[in-house]
Amino acid sequence: MKFNPAIIQINITDLEIAKSFYGETLGFEIDHEKSLDGVCLLKSDGDIPILLYPVPQKSNSQYGENAGPVLVIEVADIFKVYKDWKKKDVQFIPVPWSEDETGIGGCPFGLFIAFKDPDGNVHEILQPH
């Protein structure tokens, strides 16, 4: 039996703030045809949609200590994306072993850095080797 991811769900507390952050700030396209009242579906370049799902309160997990990223986004040029998003006040979480001022670090998969959404959900951008 094969298993394939179908939807990525990101829990958020304010749908309008989340739509603005993921749509306007990060550049995801909102899928108006598939979004329902009270939730929002984002289109990705892959086949897996991203669901912004309202919850009453946000999680208190700490990235790097007891939680990992919700979403890892592949990019072709991590330094360009970092620079563009930094101008839009995206809050980045530097990699502790980074060797430059950006906070971008290496891992077995490539270069990466984490960032937070308005609800504190942590995601990463990754430029693969």
**Same-domain status, 76 and 123:** yes
Entry pTM: 0.84
**Same-domain status, 91 and 48:** no
**Same-domain status, 47 and 77:** no
Q: Is residue 59 part of a domain?
A: no
Q: What is the CATH number of the domain that holds 95?
A: 3.10.180.10
Q: Is residue 64 part of a domain?
A: no
Each residue of 94-114: pLDDT tens digit? 998 888 999 999 999 999 999
- Cβ of 80: how many Cβ atoms within 10 Å? 11
Total domain count for the chain? 2
Range of the domain at 18: 8-54
Q: Is residue 62 part of a domain?
A: no
The encoded tokens of residue 32 equal 């108006």
In angstroms, rounded to a whole number, what is the distance separating the alpha carbons of residues 10 and 122? 10
Each residue of 17-47: pLDDT tens digit? 999 999 999 999 999 887 778 899 999 887 8
Q: Is residue 29 part of a domain?
A: yes
